[in-house]
A and B are shown apart, each in its own frame.
Chain A
């Protein structure tokens, strides 16, 4: 497979063309958070509904909807993310986010450029640093692995995840 085919796996294009959980949720009770990729103008809106934000890490994602516009990578990553996190606890979502971000950086051939992009995306949230021994990603999300060969696209792939992390933080704080 060429790098390009690796980047645009069929499953990615499928999520791009038919995004899952597209739409809005009523706020409140849901929480709405916007995320931007200033580089290319991509925009993601996360509507997050937790069963009980007061439970912190044990709160469950009872529903999620995604809005916004952007490239195939940002939109499909957000779509896959929404499908994965529904029904998971906040703690599980955090672990998954960490694993996803690890996949975006540690399978990287040209670490230097990859690193700078990842660091930049980290600036915008306070999630913990990646763990080198993060679990292997499986399921559809693994299809996004090809993104690491295109460092500028890493920001696209992590946009939804950073926005979700922010939505979780804001939900729990408010």
Chain B
């Protein structure tokens, strides 16, 4: 799975003003270990622009009260702030109604919600759930946990040599399945999966499709209707928003049919001694006081991304993919192997690589001395690691505030890692 050189004709036009964008992210202005901080770990968690933190501060300083269930004006303003963020998020992913947007803690909770609510109500011993070999543990373990209770089968879509999904046996795998749960983009090797094709295939077999959009939604224009998805999970902190807030989008009729996940305040219409009546969607799935300020912050992150334009964001990242693949191959040749699809436009802005026989942990240690943040490890995708035949990879990932100079620093730092370990 080594990359070949990209064709320059693949390069889309990249019109973002990265210097101006960088200036919006105070955290990037610091030095680390005496060097300019070069943050290449946005796939784990992105940074946030001042507009996001200011929106949250402003909310706390002017608007905060618990949402819903209050007659006073301040609480009404807080509720409005939260519901307006819900509308922004709905718009951002092309949802037909804001009622289809459920706020959770993160993508992990969103996927667990699908498993524990829809899955528990719909899956039994004679059923099957189809996953893929590139899933994050967040889209594996909840299904394994549920399968242990309900006895359904878990099937796996395999990968091709170059890190795409191998759809040869898709029809067979989907036969008799009730759900296909698949990541729209690998957080390890960057593969973009053909969600629309998979959704149509799943539907043809009477199955639903749950999309882990954790890496996709922050980086590519998303339209749940065009994707023909049934569920979509993602996290705020990977899309310039705060930690502590995530989203589950689902078709409204599914949310209406599903039993509540967590029980408590906020999710009920009525409670009597002998039982309760759940609230309408989406509140039915939002038990307890929600992370209101974080939701407001997520709304501001959506505004920021909208102001850049998601098509521009994507074009920029494809350009960086091409630049990084070319730069690293030109400088290190056979000494570097880049995992995953070889075409820059088949990938998100995530690049796992092996550098000679150096262990990723050692590589990242040296890069850290140069102020470069990359992540070594299994990236919560151990089944994929086993397929790649490694225990860990070093992973660099980019976003709107990264540019070619960051890739150059990465390459220089790798050079010095090679020198340090004398290989």
* A1-20 to B contact mask, C-beta < 8 Å, 1/0: 00010011000010000000
| Contact A42–B365 (Cβ < 8 Å) | no
Report A165 CB to chain B, min CB distance, Å: 22
What residue in chain A is nearest B363 (Cβ atoms)? A71
- The CA-CA distance from A124 to B390 in the complex, in Å, is 24
Which of B385, B391, B420 makes the CB contact (< 8 A) with A42? B391
| Contact A40–B365 (Cβ < 8 Å) | no
Number of interface residues of B (CB under 8 A): 17
The stretch from B96-104, B197-205, B318-326, B354-362 touching chain A is B354-362
Residues in A neighbouring B360, C-beta threshold 8 A: 40, 71
- The CA-CA distance from A41 to B384 in the complex, in Å, is 12
Within 8 A of A (CB), among B351-408: 359-362, 365-366, 369, 376-378, 382, 385, 390-392
Report B230 CB to chain A, min CB distance, Å: 33
* A44-86 to B contact mask, C-beta < 8 Å, 1/0: 0000000000000000000000000111110100000000000
| Contact A40–B366 (Cβ < 8 Å) | no
Residues in B neighbouring A8, C-beta threshold 8 A: 362, 420-421
| Contact A41–B377 (Cβ < 8 Å) | yes
The residue in B362, B366, B376, B385 that gathers the most chain A C-beta atoms within 10 A of its C-beta is: B362
Number of interface residues of A (CB under 8 A): 18
| Contact A4–B391 (Cβ < 8 Å) | no
- Residue A156 at the chain B interface, CB threshold 8 Å: yes
Number of A-B contacts (CB under 8 A): 48
- Residue A94 at the chain B interface, CB threshold 8 Å: no
- Residue A145 at the chain B interface, CB threshold 8 Å: no
| Contact A71–B359 (Cβ < 8 Å) | yes
Known: A8-B420, A13-B421. A41 touches B392 (CB 8 A): yes
Residues in A neighbouring B420, C-beta threshold 8 A: 4, 8
What residue in chain A is nearest B376 (Cβ atoms)? A40
Residues in A neighbouring B421, C-beta threshold 8 A: 8, 13
Residues in B neighbouring A4, C-beta threshold 8 A: 365-366, 369, 420
Residues in A neighbouring B361, C-beta threshold 8 A: 40, 42, 70-73, 153, 156
| Contact A69–B391 (Cβ < 8 Å) | yes
Residues in A neighbouring B365, C-beta threshold 8 A: 4, 7, 150, 153
- The CA-CA distance from A153 to B365 in the complex, in Å, is 10
- The CA-CA distance from A163 to B119 in the complex, in Å, is 38
Known: A41-B391, A41-B392, A42-B391. A72 touches B362 (CB 8 A): yes
- The CA-CA distance from A156 to B385 in the complex, in Å, is 19
Within 8 A of A (CB), among B18-38: none
Q: A8-B362, A13-B421, A40-B360 are in contact. List 9 more A-B contacts (CB 8 A).
A: A4-B420, A40-B377, A42-B392, A70-B361, A70-B391, A72-B361, A73-B361, A73-B362, A153-B365
Question: Can you give 30 A-B contacts (C-beta < 8 A)?
Answer: A4-B366, A4-B369, A4-B420, A8-B362, A8-B420, A13-B421, A39-B377, A40-B360, A40-B361, A40-B376, A40-B377, A40-B378, A40-B391, A41-B377, A41-B382, A41-B385, A41-B390, A41-B391, A42-B391, A42-B392, A69-B391, A70-B361, A70-B391, A71-B359, A71-B362, A71-B376, A72-B362, A73-B361, A73-B362, A153-B361
